[in-house]
Structure 1
Amino acid sequence: MDSGADLSAWKGLIVEGSLTGGARNEVYRGRFDDQEVVIRRSDRSDDSLRWELDLLDYLLTRECRVPRTIPADDGRRHVKGWHVQNFVHGRHAARDDAAAIRAELVRVHKCTTEWPQRPNTASAKTLLSIPAGANDVDLEAMPSALAEKVRRAWLAVQPRDRCVIHGDPGAANALITAEGECVLIDWDEARVDDPLFDLKVTEAEELAALAWEIAVCWKPEPAYARALAEQLLTGEGGHMT
């Protein structure tokens, strides 16, 4: 753990060890007030992290299955990006759990049709008209052939800003409880966009989602993004320069 981490706002919080699965952010397991917790650090801006925590609070009121934020002793929900949530007991989703994941995603989509866009974030539709800006995706930072391929993948599905999407609802972020319910964790990539990016059905939607994953990971996870980019480009005989 970062030696500069200040978790003193949660008096008695104990860090027990790191957790796997956090590709961008530090994630730890711990105990607080005799309960198991997850301790996370986000690199998002204050406004962006507030949006995420507000969303989770709201989703809980709509009976969606998401982590619950545990405030610090003084009521703050995060301290310099560090925040604490309840530990969700469950196994990572498998192929047979697709229906449970879909049901939970649909529940989220239905109750967030009026939710505002995440600060410093743009949807695929918006990025079709602005190549860069005050958001977490910069298509101009990519090789031109790749950026064009990404745009073409999105144009093929004509995405619309409809609701909040999780953005990365794969097996690592979908936990199945002993009761068979799906709990969606790690909302770092959530934004307002088209639900097709969560619930891919057609080949065109699969390509559009792959294009988004490349775009959003290009800066924070370059090696991973470049590996995905080769899949997108070589599928039609292209090459990354």
Structure 2
Amino acid sequence: MAGREPGAGDWPAVARELRRLHSLTAGWPQRPGFRSTTELLTADRGGDVDLTAMPADAVAACRRAWAALGGPHSVVHGDPCAANVRMSAAGIGLLDWDEARVDHPALDLADLPDLPGDGVAKSAVNAWEAAAGWRLEPAYARSRLAELTPPD
């Protein structure tokens, strides 16, 4: 996809485009084989997440962070980092949809640079990253688990 990675000052426009995606996909069905953070409050597996691989205290911490989010749900990209966003005269494009699912829209916005923080969403993203990476990227997963903060 043509374009450049977002730079300083581009992130509010990226957030607007993500919010547009969220508004257009509210109420969509879940991607086959995936689970939202709400569903993972009681389910053990979905997408890249296998909570049975994690220690019980880590699972409990993740579920506490996810429970604080609540509803509504829409399609989320799941990894809107600079490498997965393209800025062009035609608009904003999103690449690499392998982590996409139906989930809480705040999860797409919590890690974007240069935007006001949302402690609840940031904790939920840290929990997601820990759970999704537990088997494949254990050091990264543990570092994100360590960043979990109690909801505001």
Q: TM-score range by the shorter chain?
A: 0.7 to 0.9
1:52-94 Cα distance to aligned partner (Å, 9 max, x none): xxxxxxxxxxxxxxxxxxxxxxxxxxxxxxxxxxxx1222112
Match of residue 198 from structure 1: 108
Q: Map 1:8-23; keep pairs closer than 5 Å.
A: none
Match of residue 136 from structure 1: 48
**Partner amino acid, structure 2, of 1:174:** V
Match of residue 80 from structure 1: none
**Partner amino acid, structure 2, of 1:139:** L
Structure 2 residue runs without a partner (length 5+): 111-116
Q: Report if aligned partners of 2:123, 2:147 keep a CA contact under 8 Å in 1.
A: no
1:98-135 Cα distance to aligned partner (Å, 9 max, x none): 121112111211211242211111000000012x1464
The reply on whether 1:173 has 2:89 as its aligned counterpart is no
Following the alignment from structure 1 to structure 2, what is the Cα–Cα distance between the partners of residues 223 and 162?
30
The reply on whether 1:94 has 2:7 as its aligned counterpart is yes
Q: Normalising by structure 1, what TM-score?
A: 0.55
Give 1:167 shift. Answer: 0.7
Count, aligned residues: 144
**Partner amino acid, structure 2, of 1:99:** P
Partner secondary structure for residue 168 of structure 1: coil
Q: Report if aligned partners of 1:150, 1:211 keep a CA contact under 8 Å in 2.
A: yes
Q: Map 1:32-181; keep pairs closer than 5 Å.
A: 88-130=1-43, 132-133=44-45, 135-158=47-70, 160=71, 162-177=73-88, 179=89, 181=91
Following the alignment from structure 1 to structure 2, what is the Cα–Cα distance between the partners of residues 192 and 161?
10
Following the alignment from structure 2 to structure 1, what is the Cα–Cα distance between the partners of residues 56 and 45?
17
**Partner amino acid, structure 2, of 1:94:** G
Give 1:230 shift. Answer: 2.7
Partner secondary structure for residue 38 of structure 2: helix
Following the alignment from structure 2 to structure 1, what is the Cα–Cα distance between the partners of residues 29 and 69?
22
CA 1:144–1:101: 2 relative to 1, 3 Å:
same
Structure 1 residue runs without a partner (length 5+): 1-87, 237-241
Q: Report if aligned partners of 1:120, 1:136 keep a CA contact under 8 Å in 2.
A: no
Match of residue 114 from structure 2: none
Following the alignment from structure 2 to structure 1, what is the Cα–Cα distance between the partners of residues 147 and 91?
33
The answer to which structure has the higher helix fraction is 2
The answer to which structure has the higher strand fraction is 1
Partner secondary structure for residue 25 of structure 2: coil
**Partner amino acid, structure 1, of 2:12:** A
Q: Normalising by structure 2, what TM-score?
A: 0.83
